[in-house]
Amino acid sequence: MQYWLLKSEPDVWSIDQQKKAGTKGAPWDGVRNYQAAKNLKSMREGDQCFFYHSNIGKEIVGIVEVIKEAYLDKTDKSGRFVAVTVKFLKKLNKPVSLEDIKKNKQLSHLSLIKQSRLSVMPIDSKSWKILNNMGKI
């Protein structure tokens, strides 16, 4: 299993909307950055992802699971980009803010800090455990 972080603006798609989508999940679409799209293509069924509220909040708020691997993104007229389908797993007991992530020296290598505009990024298993602990899971 691999771990990822997915960014979404909560006024566009929030963790609560993801939860309401239920077990059938919802497509993670609209990604138009080539590096982020490459990351989507690397995702496998069963991979887990942190759900990060960007712009408003700037914090990890939950965890979702990939239930359908990369397929053509229906919102992309060019046919170049992909989407995956994810389902809600849980909310963090305590959201983990970007500010707190930046304060933790063990997380300084994360793309979330080094490539702040990237919307889909891998998370190594050690950082996954640290972030889960910070989120009281």
In the block, residue with structure tokens 């490459």: 38
Structural domain 3-134, CATH architecture: Roll (3.10)
Determine the pLDDT at residue 86: 98
Helix (H, G, I), strand (E, B) or coil at 45: coil
pLDDT of residue 95: 97
Strands 82-97 and 3-8 turn out to be unpaired
pLDDT of residue 31: 96
Confidence of residue 116 (pLDDT cuts 50, 70, 90): confident
Give the DSSP H/E element, type plus range, for residue 5.
strand 3-8
Section 117-133 average pLDDT? 97
Q: Where are the domains of the chain?
A: 3-134
Q: With a cut of 90, say whether residue 58 has pLDDT above it.
A: yes
